[in-house]
Amino acid sequence: MSAKGSKLWASALKDSVPTPYWTDRPERPTPTDPLTTAAHTDLAVIGGGYSGLWTALLAKERNPGTDVVLLESGLCGHAASGRNGGFCSASLTHGLANGMERFPDEIGQLERLGRSNLDDIEKAILRYGIDCDFERTGEMEVATAPHEIEWLRESHDAAESLGYRTELLDAGQVRGMVHSPTYLGGWWDRDGVAMLDPARLAWGLRRACLESGVRIYEGTPVQRISKSCGGTLTLHTPHGEVRAPRVALCTSAFAGPVPKVSRHVVPVYDYALMTEPLTAQQLDSIGWHTRMGLGDASYRFHYYRLTSDNRILFGGYDAIYHFGNRIAPTLEYNEATFETLAQHFFQTFPQLDGLRFTHRWGGVIDTCGRFCAFFGSAYKGRLVYAAGYTGLGVGATRFGAEVMLDRLWNLDTDRTRLRMVRSRPLPLPPEPLRSAGIHLTRWSLARADAHQGRRNLWLKTLDYTGLGFDS
């Protein structure tokens, strides 16, 4: 890093505030009162992110007479659901390639269910009047190294075989759409991904739940669960309790009151920057008038997109794990990563020299060994859970909510018969092996990016065992 370059990136970051852009809004909702009494309900939902909000809302849609209580330790949408990149993907399997590798016999059905799920999200946004800047622009994956061009061709061919609207672009074509000197090619999935405002989606789902009669108690962590008489479970909180015959656990990366879930979940920190709004001249200098989401094809990838007021969110690259599955507010800010992202931003768009960042932040993602959601149950099926969405939970959590409700009501559906739903990833080893393995994997992925994508013996061993690490 040159001294001049260091000063450029430091200057661009100097006035940025360390808070998520999406939640730094005056319309942030006022918290509901916490639970201070004993309550009884038909369905208790633990967690107020997308997973919990969709579960509560869909339960009321299926049967408006179902009484639903949702318990959230903070404010609904305050964690991953309110601070992600806003890429709402149809994929239920963290991308087509991962799905084809892990579920080859049912990938066609998984893709159909995923596309239908994205359609249903769009319909719900319209039905409930959720103003979240939903744009079904698709996503383009770009090659920034020669060996990645073949990866794009494989993705294009696989998507085309399933009948998707997809385009494979050479360097001139992709640079004609988005002007970056780093691009060597691109693959555009034209309608499988939507861009949206993630916090406003969470807040809109929260409002829809309240208007549907869901009782939401924020500032109410569930400390433990116990069995009660008559086939119910009791959820114990600091100042009250909830009894329910059915419970949906939707805590994602956060350790909840069911310890066995944490054996499969790895919380990793991901970071992002947000620029000030681009002027019309700056926007013309980079093109990007089609407004699709962008992501590069490397193992340590970046993702970036335009907001409704033409800011650029730029995130990814680092996926940082802390020993012992540690999660803490102080870990949401990593100045070294912010500087790296700023450097990469101006390498991608050197014509935007002088543009400043207004916000910098991080958040925790619930990844797992197979990179996509897994499902399970406890207390003889009275409690179900879904976790491990690995960064694609904006869309896939709605599908996960449907699965959890099917299971809680013992319904035999196309969803519950899926091997993806019936199987689980291998548990990750305990510490210190967990931390050592993850750091070795991160090092190996960086090495593969620097050596034409060649995977070393460690990565090949993970491939063979079905384990992995991603964000």
Give the separation between CA 393 and CA 136, rounded to whole angstroms. Answer: 17
pLDDT tens for each residue of the chain, 471 residues long: 444 555 667 789 999 999 999 999 888 999 999 999 999 999 999 999 999 999 999 999 999 999 999 999 999 999 999 999 999 999 999 999 999 999 999 999 999 999 999 999 999 999 999 999 999 999 999 999 999 999 999 999 999 998 888 999 999 999 999 999 999 999 999 989 999 999 999 999 999 999 999 999 999 999 999 998 788 999 999 999 999 999 999 999 998 899 989 899 999 999 999 999 999 999 999 999 999 999 999 999 999 999 999 999 999 998 999 999 999 999 999 999 999 999 999 999 999 999 999 999 999 999 999 999 999 999 999 999 999 999 999 999 999 999 999 999 999 999 999 999 999 998 989 999 999 988 988 888 889 889 888 898 888 888 877 776 655
Does the pTM exceed 0.85? yes
Interstrand relation of 383-387 and 246-249 (parallel, antiparallel or unpaired): parallel
Contact between residue 253 and residue 322 where contact means Cβ atoms under 8 Å apart: no
**Geometric angle at alpha carbon 403, from 409 and 244, rounded to 5°:** 45
Give the separation between CA 207 and CA 253, rounded to whole angstroms. Answer: 24
Tell me which amino acid residue 256 is: G
Give the separation between CA 375 and CA 386, rounded to whole angstroms. Answer: 5
CATH of range 139-190+266-367; options 3.40.50.2300, 3.20.20.70, 3.30.9.10, 3.40.50.300: 3.30.9.10
Give the separation between CA 410 and CA 398, rounded to whole angstroms. Answer: 18
Q: Render pLDDT for 363-403 as a digit per residue (tens, 0 to 9).
A: 999 999 999 999 999 999 999 999 999 999 999 999 999 99
CATH of range 26-135+192-264+369-428; options 3.30.1540.20, 3.50.50.60, 3.40.50.300, 3.90.1640.10: 3.50.50.60
| Tokens 């149809």, located at residue | 90
| Tokens 């620097």, located at residue | 450
Q: In the chain, where are the structural domains located?
A: 26-135+192-264+369-428, 139-190+266-367, 432-465
Contact between residue 325 and residue 266 where contact means Cβ atoms under 8 Å apart: yes
